[in-house]
Each structure stands twice: as C-alpha cells, then as structure tokens.
C-alpha cells in the first residue's frame, strides 16, 4: 500500500511538473516575450533577442513535418499609435533549404488571447486549445516542401490585438526585416526573395503589410516578390454582420475585444455597452483560442435580436469613437489611401459565408481604379470559405512558385472567374491534392463536432476532445502534446447568464455580380 501511495504521488507530481513546464513557455509566462525597457533605442526590424525554439516544432496533422531547424526571435516594431513594441516571430528552416527564398506565412490566430500566438501554438507540448493553428501546419508544410524558409509572426502583438490592421501589417514587415538579418544563425540570405501568404484571419496583417510597405519598409522592395491572400478579410464590420448568430459568432466577440485592446480608451468603456449578465462570460474570451471561442459563443447574438449581448445592437457601430476605429482598420476605404507596389494575388469563393466576397471585389475595384501595377483576382464560382481554403491552396502555391521562378506577374488588373480554383494553371497536382485531402480531414475532425447545427456546446466540446485524443495517440512521438495539458473548457451557460435568443439572420451585404465565364471557364478582364 505504501509503495502504491508513493507511485501515485510520483505520477501526480510528474504530471504536475509536465503541465508546469508546458505553461512555462506560454507567452504570458515566458520572459522571452517581454520587451526590454530600452526598446525605443532599437531600430524597426532589429533583432532584440534570439533563441532556438524552447520545444520542438510539432504538428498533430503532419507526421513528417519538414523542419530542419527552428528559432524564435524578438524584433522592435511599432504599434498603431507609433509606440515601440516587441514582436516575436518563428523562423523555420526546411530540410532541403533554399537560402534565397522566404515565405512570411500568417496564421489565422483569430483570438484575443496572447497564449494562442503561433510561436507557442506550433511547439511540442502546446495545449489542445491551439488545435486550429495545428491545422494550418498542413499548409505551411507545403511551403517547406518546396525548400522555402517560413517565418510566422505573432502579428497580434503583446496584447493579442486581434483585428488591429496597422499593428499587424507593421509587425509582419518587421519580422521579415529580422529574418533577413539572421544569416549568421539561419543561413538565410539577406537578399532572399520574399513572398507573403495567408488565408482568412491571416489576411488582415499581410494585406496591410503589402499596403504599408512602400512607406514603412521601403528597403524591402528589393526583396518582396508578391502577396497571396485567400478568403480575404478587408472589412471587419461587414464580417460581423455576416456571422453574428451563426456557428462563427465567437469570432465577433473575440474580434471586438481584440481590436479595442489596441485602443485603451475604448477598451476602458467597452463593457459599459454589454449587458451586465454577459460581462463575466465575455471577458473569458481573453483566455480562449479560436476553437474555444467558437464553442463558448456558438450561434450567439452579439448585435442582432431583441436582446443582444451588446445592448445597443448595431447602433454600437454608429458611435463616433467606434466608427473611427472600424474605419481606420478597413482596407481601401476610399481612394485617398495608399496602394501596394508589390504584385497581389487574391483567391476567394463567391459563396463565402464567413468573409463576404463582395468586400474583396470592392478592394479589387478600388485598387484597380487607383492604378495598381499588378493584381490578379482568382474567383471561384462554387466555393464557400472552407472549400476555397482547400481548393485555393493549390492556386496560391502555383502563383508563389511562378513568382519565385521569376515569371512575370500580370500587368494591371486581371480578374478570372473559374468554376473552381483547382482549374488555376498547375494547381491541381497530386501533391496539392494530397495536402488538400489532409487539410479537409483535419478541419472535419476539429470543426465537425459543432458544425452540424446542434446547439449543444458540451457535446461538441466532448466530441472534439475525443477526436484530439485519438489524433495525439496516432501522431509520431515527437509531435505529441504533453501529458497533463488541459482539455478545452466546456462552455455551457454560466450561472447568472440569461438564455440567448436565436432569431433569423440579418440580411447579408449584397454581393457584387461576377462576370460570367466563357466557354473555356475563364474570363479575363
């Protein structure tokens, strides 16, 4: 009995120690993420500190993740208001490295929690809450397979300012600057060609990076060869109107909390506009990653219905201080704003139910009217948000490959409508198909439990954790998470919260009518 007691005590302490060790390298606990007091003395993009990643890079969904070496570094950057901040980025060296090519890949962090940052989420031992980032490693692995270095930026900054566009764009540019200064560690050449890529929430920082670059980081013009954006998020207010009351509702809450984090005076007053019975629950989103956020506010009404979480409903956005923030973070709001000088490639599905297609069309029209040098718009007639992620990945990889080969981009503006972006030249390869199939399987495993339309969050949460447990058991040893990590928190309905109503969805913004394809399936404008 004494031996058994000692054994149980040992196991308890071991699991406690493993859990503590896993927590110790979360951004909120790790001193590496804290900017030095003299950060203002550094130049933008200058490396402040550097280290090998504290744990190995892992992917639950990619058995043989093609990473040779991995590093984390902090660079000096600038927030929305011109104040100096430290930004952490992760640089990955592929096993067949081409030291002349770098992709700045931007994950869809989509969270107001600092512990959901990519630099942590892709490490061995990161908790199951970061599983959405794990899904994207499938995409990132395709870049690594081509020998491209990859840099992933914690573009939401030290306060997880989800949706803060200028902050994110400048963070990406400074992370690129830092990567190009790392040759003594990484062997990446200072004159390496650089492409920027991302989907959905990851398009917020990267599209602003492309827009801000001529003024903020003009020296990168020698390196940048293109920006590829898919499921393009350009107008957060429009996204809110589209997804409020749906399975994606949690993004509404996380987005409002995240973007107002960058504006302290607004954040100070924010919860005065929230029903008092919702305040405690809403603040929990500061501690949740994407999937946990979706589970917590599945089909919730933040602004619509007779009793929304934000008591003023959509009138909240008519407040001058709120309208100013939203306008400042809306891309290409008018023709007085700068346009990118780097070639842009956009892929978007007309049937996108999360990020309205018409906003991509609006920015395309605006930039073309302003004389952008090169913009290619690959329109899919059949795909929704998830389907375009699967099908458009091949198109993006094809376009990026052409750019790295030195093939000239389109001149001016070209818009081509296809039945599917699998029809994009050289997109439908066997390797891309295999990656897409893996991506689809991972999405179904993670999103499937609560995409059925059932409003039983606890059942969805239990199903998801079961899937993740099975996935972890099947993963190679080096990819498994630490024992003792916490499962996703069952959301439920906390005591004191009023039951939420689920009225019919408001009318979505009208979509711009697309051109009809020719007999060949393509139409060039």
Q: Is 184 a catalytic residue?
A: no
Tokens 């692995």 belong to: 141
Tokens 């350009």 belong to: 234
| pLDDT, position 450 | 59
Q: How far apart are the first and last CA of the chain?
A: 80
- Can you read off the two tokens belonging to residue 15? 């699991």
| pLDDT, position 476 | 52
∠ CA 232-77-40, rounded to 5°: 160
Return d(Cα 292, Cα 237) in angstroms, integer. 22
Q: Is 385 a catalytic residue?
A: yes
* CB-count exposure of residue 221 (10 Å: 0-12, 13-18, 19+): exposed
Hey, CA dihedral for 389, 282, 484, 482, is it positive or negative? positive
Q: Do 524 and 415 form a contact (C-beta atoms < 8 A)?
A: yes
- Can you read off the two tokens belonging to residue 139? 């995409």
Can you name the residues that pair with 49 across neighbouring β-strands?
74
The one catalytic residue in 352, 360, 380, 438 is: 352
| Contacts of 255 by beta carbon, 8 Å cutoff, 6+ apart | 110, 112, 162, 163, 236, 239, 240
Half-sphere exposure of 218 (CA within 13 A, CB side): 1
Instruction: Give the pLDDT of the chain (525 residues) as one tens digit per residue.
Output: 443 344 333 333 334 333 444 566 899 999 999 999 999 999 999 999 999 999 999 878 887 889 999 999 999 999 999 999 999 999 999 999 999 999 999 999 999 999 999 999 999 888 888 888 989 999 999 999 999 999 999 999 999 999 999 999 999 999 999 999 999 999 999 999 999 999 999 999 999 999 999 999 999 999 999 999 999 999 999 999 999 999 999 999 999 999 999 999 999 999 999 999 999 999 999 999 998 999 899 999 999 988 999 999 999 999 999 999 999 999 999 999 999 999 999 999 999 999 999 999 999 999 999 999 999 999 999 999 999 999 999 999 999 999 999 999 999 999 999 999 999 999 999 999 999 999 999 888 887 665 655 445 566 556 666 666 665 565 555 444 444 444 444 333 333 344 333 333 333 333 233 333 333 333 222
| pLDDT, position 164 | 97
The one catalytic residue in 59, 77, 200, 374 is: 200
| pLDDT, position 12 | 39
- Can you read off the two tokens belonging to residue 402? 């052409």
The model's pTM = 0.86
∠ CA 403-392-206, rounded to 5°: 60
| pLDDT, position 453 | 53
Q: In what order do the strands lie in the sheet with 344-349?
A: 47-52, 67-78, 84-94, 148-153, 98-106, 193-199, 224-230, 344-349, 374-380, 412-418
Q: Do 380 and 352 form a contact (C-beta atoms < 8 A)?
A: no
Return d(Cα 412, Cα 514) in angstroms, integer. 19
Return d(Cα 325, Cα 93) in angstroms, integer. 38
Alpha helices in 115-235 (DSSP H): 118-121, 131-145, 165-180, 183-186, 203-216
Q: Is 174 a catalytic residue?
A: no
Please, what are the domains in the chain? 39-236+289-296+354-406+415-455+468-519 (3.40.50.1820)
Tokens 């924010």 belong to: 270
| pLDDT, position 467 | 61
- DSSP 8-class letter at 36: P
The one catalytic residue in 182, 244, 385, 423 is: 385
């Amino acid at each position: 009995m004494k031996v058994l007691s000692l054994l149980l005590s040992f196991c308890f302490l071991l699991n406690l120690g493993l859990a503590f060790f896993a927590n110790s390298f979360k951004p909120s606990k790790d001193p590496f993420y804290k900017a030095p007091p003299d950060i203002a003395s550094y130049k933008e993009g200058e490396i402040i500190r550097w280290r090998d990643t504290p744990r190995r890079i892992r992917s639950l969904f990619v058995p043989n993740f093609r990473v040779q070496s991995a590093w984390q570094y902090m660079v000096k950057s600038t927030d929305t208001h011109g104040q100096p901040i430290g930004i952490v980025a992760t640089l990955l060296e592929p096993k067949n490295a081409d030291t002349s090519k770098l992709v700045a890949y931007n994950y869809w962090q989509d969270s107001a929690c600092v512990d959901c940052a990519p630099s942590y989420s892709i490490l061995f031992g990161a908790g199951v809450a970061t599983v959405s980032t794990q899904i994207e490693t499938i995409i990132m692995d395709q870049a690594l397979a081509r020998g491209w270095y990859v840099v992933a930026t914690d573009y939401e900054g030290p306060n997880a300012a989800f949706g803060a566009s200028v902050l994110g764009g400048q963070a990406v540019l400074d992370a690129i600057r830092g990567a190009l200064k790392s040759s003594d560690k990484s062997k990446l050449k200072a004159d390496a060609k650089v492409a920027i890529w991302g989907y959905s929430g990851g398009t917020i920082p990267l599209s602003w990076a492309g827009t801000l670059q001529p003024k903020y980081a003009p020296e990168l013009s020698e390196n940048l060869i293109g920006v590829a954006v898919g499921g393009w998020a350009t107008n957060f207010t429009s996204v809110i109107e589209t997804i409020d009351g749906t399975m994606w509702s949690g993004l509404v809450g996380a987005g409002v909390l995240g973007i107002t984090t960058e504006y302290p005076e607004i954040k100070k007053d924010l919860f005065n506009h929230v029903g008092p019975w919702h305040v405690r629950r809403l603040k929990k989103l500061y501690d949740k990653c994407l999937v946990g956020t979706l589970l917590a506010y599945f089909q919730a009404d933040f602004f619509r219905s007779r009793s929304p979480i934000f008591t003023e409903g959509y009138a909240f956005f008519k407040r001058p201080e709120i309208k100013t923030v939203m306008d400042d973070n809306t891309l290409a709001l008018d023709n007085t704003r700068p346009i990118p000088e780097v070639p842009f490639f956009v892929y978007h599905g007309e049937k996108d139910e999360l990020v309205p297609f018409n906003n991509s069309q609006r920015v395309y029209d605006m930039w073309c009217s302003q004389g952008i040098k090169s913009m290619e718009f690959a329109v899919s007639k059949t795909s929704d948000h998830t389907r375009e992620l699967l099908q458009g990945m091949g198109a993006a990889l094809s376009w990026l490959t052409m750019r790295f080969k030195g093939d000239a981009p389109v001149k001016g503006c070209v818009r081509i409508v296809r039945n599917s972006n699998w029809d994009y030249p050289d997109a439908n390869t066997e390797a891309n198909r295999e990656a897409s199939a893996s991506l689809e399987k991972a999405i179904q495993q993670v999103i499937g439990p609560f995409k059925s339309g059932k409003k039983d969050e606890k059942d969805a949460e239990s199903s998801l954790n079961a899937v993740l447990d099975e996935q972890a058991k099947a993963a190679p040893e080096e990819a498994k998470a630490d024992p003792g990590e916490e499962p996703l928190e069952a959301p439920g309905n906390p005591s004191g919260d009023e039951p939420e109503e689920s009225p019919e969805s408001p009318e979505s913004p009208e979509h711009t009518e697309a051109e009809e394809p020719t007999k060949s399936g393509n139409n060039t404008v």
